[in-house]
């Protein structure tokens, strides 16, 4: 029985209790959200860890790792996975597209306690290319067998490209292609498969079969964004919206079948369209958790796109996005290294918190209030305790010998807070110094 099926029967499962404790809400709150399909529980079978994603809970952060045909180093990917977890990522996506992918996947799952997701089409097309030299020779039967094998290995959630089909390809053709082209690896390869074979996407055509596999393992279905915009001038074009419409219909079908489901959001979105993007997906999907890929509100930030994405992610979280996929400084340039992973996770966590401080006002922002009071009082130990990145803050203090006595080196004897305390004590409290 899936968490969704249990919730609909009024059962509070152990996973719901764990999620409630982590979020500081009641188990019934989690059960009710799971029952409605507005919360999903992503479970790490290797560790028992549970991550709640959806309405009324903290915005979560996903980190992605994985090999490519140009750089395939399992030990490097394991180090990156551990760093992502240590830096505070909530989930991990293992996106390897080279090497012994079955072995890599199992090793990564065993390396972390986080729930691990993936994109099945990567392995499917990678192995088809290795075997036949042509991605168009992908066998749909092999694809479904592979999905079940990945679920059995412990994959907790899957981004699956169901909504890129013959209808959405026609929309792409009718609008005269795009400024940014197709930027989804799985989406582009599936489009190639459909065009060369003159056939419908088997993941769409046999959607009920797909859902039954995922329901069997209670693997969360993340409806992939194969038509997502890779340029801000392509945002909300007809091809993207057509795929979103199909994905939202499929989300409803998946829930009816008892499968937990999320809907993915686009990659490049100008600031004035982020609210529309999130709310449109939420409305059409019946409030399904929204997994936002970025978004990047400009296209010129390569080498600093962790900052670009943080701007978009903060707004997305505010407007209702539930899971943010990190973006690293290497985005658009190359495979991220270990430092990129750490920087990307930190930027995404900060962005998610900025959104939550508004979206979950009264809960998420209490940490900010505690930090503010500690800063006012120059209470450095209390200050550090409430920061998102206390170790980094302590490193700055130590390396720069910043704190001497009460003050830091930024203002020295002109410290505003120290001098304001004199005003507070003498004039507001009526004490003479």
Please state, in angstroms and rounded to a whole number, the distance separating the CA atoms of residues 279 and 274.
9
Residue 386, phi-psi category: left (phi > 0), alpha (psi -120 to 50), beta (remainder): alpha
Q: Which two tokens stand for residue 207?
A: 């959607």
Q: What is the sign of the dihedral through the CA atoms of 20, 354, 228 and 140? A: negative
Of the CA atoms within 13 Å of residue 237, those in its CB half-sphere come to 27
Residue 156 Cα to chain centre, angstroms = 13
Spatial CA neighbour of 54 closest among 289, 321, 351:
289
What are the structural domains, with CATH classification, of the chain?
Answer: 58-359 (3.20.20.540), 366-428 (no CATH)
Q: Which residues contact 195 (CB under 8 A, 6 or more apart)?
A: 169
The reported pLDDT for the residue numbered 428 is 65
Q: What is the 3-class SS of 374-433, one letter each residue?
A: HHHCCCHHHHHHCCCCHHHHHHHHHHCCCCECCECCCCHHHCHHHHHHHHHHHHHCCCCC
CA angle 388, 394, 400 (to 5 degrees): 135
What angle do the packed helices 207-217 and 238-256 form, to 10 degrees? 50
Q: What is the DSSP letter of 117?
A: E
Q: Which residues contact 395 (CB under 8 A, 6 or more apart)?
A: none
Residue 134 phi, psi (nearest 5): -150, 115
Please state, in angstroms and rounded to a whole number, the distance separating the CA atoms of residues 198 and 30.
44
Please state, in angstroms and rounded to a whole number, the distance separating the CA atoms of residues 390 and 388.
6
Q: Which residues contact 309 (CB under 8 A, 6 or more apart)?
A: 294, 295, 296, 326, 327, 331, 347, 348, 351
The reported pLDDT for the residue numbered 433 is 45
Residue tagged 């199909």 (tokens): 246
**With a cut of 50, which residues of the chain have pLDDT below it?**
433
Q: Which two tokens stand for residue 322?
A: 């539930």
The reported pLDDT for the residue numbered 403 is 74
């Amino acid at each position: 029985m899936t968490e969704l099926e249990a919730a609909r029967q009024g059962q509070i499962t152990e996973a719901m209790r764990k999620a409630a404790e982590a979020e500081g809400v009641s188990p019934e709150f989690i059960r009710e959200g799971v029952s409605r399909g507005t919360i999903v529980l992503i479970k790490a079978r290797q560790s028992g860890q549970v991550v709640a994603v959806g309405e009324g809970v903290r915005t979560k952060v996903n980190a992605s790792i994985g090999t490519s045909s140009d750089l395939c180093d399992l030990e490097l990917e394991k180090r990156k996975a551990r760093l992502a977890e240590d830096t505070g990522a909530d989930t991990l996506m293992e996106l390897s597209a080279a090497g012994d992918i079955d072995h890599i996947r199992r090793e990564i799952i065993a390396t972390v306690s986080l729930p691990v997701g993936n994109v099945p089409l990567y392995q499917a097309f990678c192995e088809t290319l290795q075997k036949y030299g042509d991605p168009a020779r992908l066998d749909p039967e092999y694809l479904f067998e592979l999905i079940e094998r990945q679920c059995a290995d412990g994959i907790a959630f899957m981004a699956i490209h169901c909504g890129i089909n013959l209808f959405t390809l026609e929309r792409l053709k009718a609008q005269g292609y795009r400024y940014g082209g197709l930027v989804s690896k799985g989406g582009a390869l599936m489009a190639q498969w459909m065009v060369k074979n003159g056939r419908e996407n088997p993941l769409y055509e046999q959607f009920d079969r797909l859902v039954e596999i995922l329901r069997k393992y209670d693997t969360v279905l993340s409806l992939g964004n194969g038509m997502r915009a890779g340029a801000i001038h392509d945002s909300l074009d007809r091809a993207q919206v057509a795929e979103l419409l199909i994905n939202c219909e499929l989300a409803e079908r998946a829930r009816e079948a008892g499968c937990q489901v999320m809907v993915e959001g686009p990659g490049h979105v100008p600031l004035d369209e982020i609210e529309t993007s999130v709310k449109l997906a939420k409305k059409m999907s019946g409030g399904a958790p929204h997994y936002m890929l970025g978004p990047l509100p400009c296209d010129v930030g390569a080498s600093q796109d962790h900052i670009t994405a943080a701007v978009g992610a903060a707004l997305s979280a505010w407007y209702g996005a539930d899971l943010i996929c990190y973006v690293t400084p290497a985005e658009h340039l190359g495979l991220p290294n270990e430092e990129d992973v750490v920087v990307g996770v930190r930027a995404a966590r900060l962005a998610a918190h900025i959104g939550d401080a508004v979206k979950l006002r009264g809960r998420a922002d209490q940490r900010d209030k505690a930090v503010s009071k500690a800063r006012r009082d120059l209470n450095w130990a209390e200050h550090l305790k409430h920061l998102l990145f206390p170790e980094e803050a302590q490193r700055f203090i130590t390396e720069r010998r910043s704190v001497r006595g009460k003050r830091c080196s930024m203002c020295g004897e002109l410290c505003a807070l120290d001098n304001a305390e004199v005003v507070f004590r003498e004039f507001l409290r009526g004490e003479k110094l």
